[in-house]
């Protein structure tokens, strides 16, 4: 079984990691941990003002640091609890999480995608969208959505 685990450093993704290590998986199971770095938002502004020249580089560097630390934290938990017999790999992707998670699952041949859910409702969900909902409705494999305690 090939499990794609998407993490973002939140309490909800920690719950998804905990759910993966909690279960007994069949022999031959592989886990791939991914985190997606979103492109920085473009700002509309008048010609008389603009952000510093390294503004977008700083945003991307910060996002990449968060993705790397999220993956490292998940890998530490997975390797300590699942042992060496389970192959565990990782990758940082760039793009929109909704699209990148589904695309990576198809490319890698995942049997299951595990994601956390923040549990947003109402206008917050409308503004931010729901990555877990988009993944569940567009993935060609099974999807498990894990809710954190705060969701």
Alpha helix (H) residue ranges in 34-141: 55-82, 97-108, 122-128, 131-138
pLDDT tens sequence across 110-143: 999 999 986 555 544 444 458 888 999 999 999 9
- Asked whether residue 42 is domain-assigned, the answer is no
Domains identified in the chain, total number = 1
H/E element, 20: helix 11-22
**Distance spanning both ends of the chain, measured CA to CA:** 28
Domain that holds residue 26: 2-37+54-147
- Full-model pTM: 0.86
User: Are 101 and 131 contacting, i.e. CB atoms less than 8 angstroms apart?
Assistant: yes
pLDDT tens sequence across 63-121: 899 999 999 999 999 999 998 889 999 999 999 999 999 999 999 999 999 999 865 55
- Asked whether residue 86 is domain-assigned, the answer is yes
Tell me the two tokens of residue 24.
Answer: 């007994």
The CATH number for 133's domain is: 3.40.50.620
- Asked whether residue 126 is domain-assigned, the answer is yes
- Asked whether residue 44 is domain-assigned, the answer is no
């Amino acid at each position: 079984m090939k499990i794609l685990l998407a993490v973002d450093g939140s309490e909800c993704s920690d719950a998804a990691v905990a759910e993966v290590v909690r279960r007994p998986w069949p022999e031959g199971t592989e886990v791939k941990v991914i985190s997606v770095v979103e492109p920085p938002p473009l700002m509309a502004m008048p010609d008389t003002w603009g952000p510093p020249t390294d503004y977008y580089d700083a945003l991307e560097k910060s996002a990449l640091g968060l993705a790397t630390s999220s993956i490292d934290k998940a890998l530490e938990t997975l390797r300590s609890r699942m042992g060496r017999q389970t192959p565990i790999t990782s990758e940082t992707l760039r793009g929109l999480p909704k699209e990148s998670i589904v695309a990576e699952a198809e490319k890698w041949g995942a049997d299951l995608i595990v994601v956390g859910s923040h549990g947003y409702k109402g206008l917050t969900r409308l503004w931010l969208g729901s990555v877990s909902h988009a993944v569940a409705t567009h993935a060609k494999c099974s999807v498990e959505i894990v809710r954190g305690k705060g969701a």
